[in-house]
Structure 1
Amino acid sequence: MSAPASGLARLVDQFSDVTVRDLAWLLFAPDLLREGDATLARPFPTAAERDATLAWLAALDAAPQALHDHARNPKLTRLGIYAESLLRYFLAHGPAARLVAANVPLRRQRRTIGECDFLLETADGARLHWELAVKFYLHISAQGEAAREARLSDYVGPNLQDRFDIKHARLTTHQLGLTKRTEFAALGFEGPWRAQLFIKGRLFYHGADDGHVEPAPEIGEHHLRGWWLTASEWRTARAATSDDERAWVVQPRMAWLASRRLDPADAQALVAGTESIRTSLAATVAPTMIAVYARDETGEWLEESRGFIVPDDWPERARAFAASAP
């Protein structure tokens, strides 16, 4: 029961605390993939469990310190570990399931061959094995600009160290099969266990192509979208507008999940510094995620979109990385 993009924004906006917002985003964001060779996880399979989860999140929003103590470790700078900690808190303390174990290692001859992210039991007694993935990929057509039907390998990580087809294969052929291995059976967790994929994130399309690209068949119908532009394209686009009703905010990696609230005073400072922000982003040497905020009729600053500004040579390198897929 995930929420489409517009519904997700309304749902997340009811919570004030940043960490609670991230947890709500993780639970309610649309799945990045559609049902296929992997069964997708459902955090709350019934309407009653969904309503109970929203009430639990509201109570947590009023007193979030326990969640902060669990998930906000300044030594942890990896977004995936942060997302794992959020989901683990929900399974351990939320109203919809019971956590049996988390991060269960499988070993053969003292060598770790895999790790089960979550083992849980639902209210009706089903035993589930969840593998969590939170991914952010940019679309680049390895087949040239004329190609409008994407392949999974056309979605690449911003730093070109990851590709969606590689991650998908790893999840479906290795991770989801861990509870069927003899090494897992030897651990003594009473089963059987049904493996499911919990995959969330956002896919970013070139500014000129968004709306014209047919996503890869494996992609979820309601997946979250963003845009990307090269530094030169960004500089040209911004030079053509005199927009004093928008603010641009660089998003650090740990803020890539839910939208953030923008304080009016902070927004005005950002608008006043628009020119320096534009110059900085236009000279970027690494892919940089930004959030664009616009002021509504009430004067509140709301997130309008998210995107990446990439160096001018990034598309050529990204296309070569996508083309290296078999």
Structure 2
Amino acid sequence: MSSPPATAGSDPLATVTPNHWSNLLWALEAPDIAPDFPLPWLPVHRHRALTEFFSRPDVHSQLAPALLAHLERLRHHRLGIYFESLWAFAFTHHPDYELLAHNFPIRDQGKTLGELDFVVRHNPDNTHEHWEIALKFYLQLGDYWVGPGLRDRLDIKLARMRNHQLPIARSAIATDTLQASGLTIDRQWARMPGRLFSPLAGPDLPQPGALWWTDLAGFDAHLSAHQNNWRQLPKPCWLSPIQPDSSTTAFPVAHAHLARGPICVAAHDGQSEVSRGFLVPSDWLSRARDTVHQN
């Protein structure tokens, strides 16, 4: 049952539950958030081949229970681990792939230099591929994009993937370690889907599909009164668009709740998601500026 429109300051804001199969499809087909950055991004035709297979009704019917069982075995529930688990499932069940290694450690004299997210065999051309993947959400602060928790920044993450995470697989120590396990690397791919959120601009409603961020006062002043069904999104719901019938428990979203950090919210019009954004604590902007200046 749908919840009534709510203001963030005092009334309940319903949460939603994740649709894991929709999240799987989103993880496979969503565009990378920085496609112009020089990384070996996965080509479009490879995205399409992955998505088309898991979009088939017969595949969904056969494998949806297996996906739920796969996710129930997760020992940790961080969003990055959830995202990697969706990809591990895809590599395990898509006929074009064989999963050879996941989080493969590269060590030198007992010191871990890094881990390779995935090593897979691409069956159509019998090549071994190293994949580095990341799921990222950033809020715009001037020329920078910073993570809602202020522990991450887009330019730093991209540089690390280009300068460390991908090159380490080509190092001599990695080559020796891989060969000891019967593995080689023929080519590499990067995947970094996610969303980029811009500051809420003035009193006008964001355009459909726009991504925004604001503090609680800005939300109450400009968005909460509009006739949309606002929902809070727990982290597993940050991937695919929400469904209008996926409400669960409602609870107040007030300053005390935001004290734990930014929260992601979305609105739907009864048919589809129409708006998505982050609500941030009142001091988030000043702390974000401090973080940028420190780096």
Normalising by structure 2, report the TM-score: 0.81
* Identity fraction in percent: 31
Q: How does 1:139-288 map to 2 (within 5 A)?
A: 139-141=140-142, 150=143, 154-187=144-177, 188=179, 189-208=182-201, 226-238=211-223, 241=225, 243=226, 245-263=227-245, 266=247, 277=252, 280=254, 284-285=258-259, 286-288=261-263
Gapped regions of structure 2 (runs ≥ 5) = 1-17, 203-208
**1:64 aligns to what SS in structure 2?**
helix
Take 2:288 and 2:49, find their aligned partners in 1: how far apart are those partners? 45
Take 1:69 and 1:43, find their aligned partners in 2: how far apart are those partners? 30
Take 1:76 and 1:180, find their aligned partners in 2: how far apart are those partners? 30
**2:292 aligns to what SS in structure 1?**
helix
Take 2:156 and 2:37, find their aligned partners in 1: how far apart are those partners? 16
Give per-residue Cα distances to partners, 1:74-133, cap 9 Å, x unaligned: 642200001111101111111332222211111111121111011112212232110010
**Counterpart of 1:13?**
none
**Counterpart of 1:83?**
83
Runs of 4+ off more than 4 Å: 46-50
Counterparts in 2 of 1:321 and 1:46: CA distance versus 1, 3 Å: closer
Counterparts in 2 of 1:196 and 1:140: CA distance versus 1, 3 Å: same
One-letter identity of the residue aligned with 1:255? C
Alpha-carbon deviation of 1:155? 0.6
One-letter identity of the residue aligned with 1:23? L
Counterparts in 2 of 1:127 and 1:22: CA distance versus 1, 3 Å: same
| Residue 99 (structure 1) aligned with residue 92 (structure 2) | no
Take 1:41 and 1:304, find their aligned partners in 2: how far apart are those partners? 29
**Counterpart of 2:11?**
none
Take 1:205 and 1:175, find their aligned partners in 2: how far apart are those partners? 28
**Counterpart of 1:131?**
132
Gapped regions of structure 1 (runs ≥ 5) = 1-16, 142-149, 210-223, 271-275
Counterparts in 2 of 1:167 and 1:135: CA distance versus 1, 3 Å: same
**Structure in which a larger fraction of residues adopt strand:** 2
Counterparts in 2 of 1:234 and 1:52: CA distance versus 1, 3 Å: closer
**Counterpart of 1:19?**
20
Counterparts in 2 of 1:76 and 1:61: CA distance versus 1, 3 Å: farther
Tell me if the contact between 1:43 and 1:96 (Cα under 8 Å) persists in the aligned partners.
no
Aligned length: 268
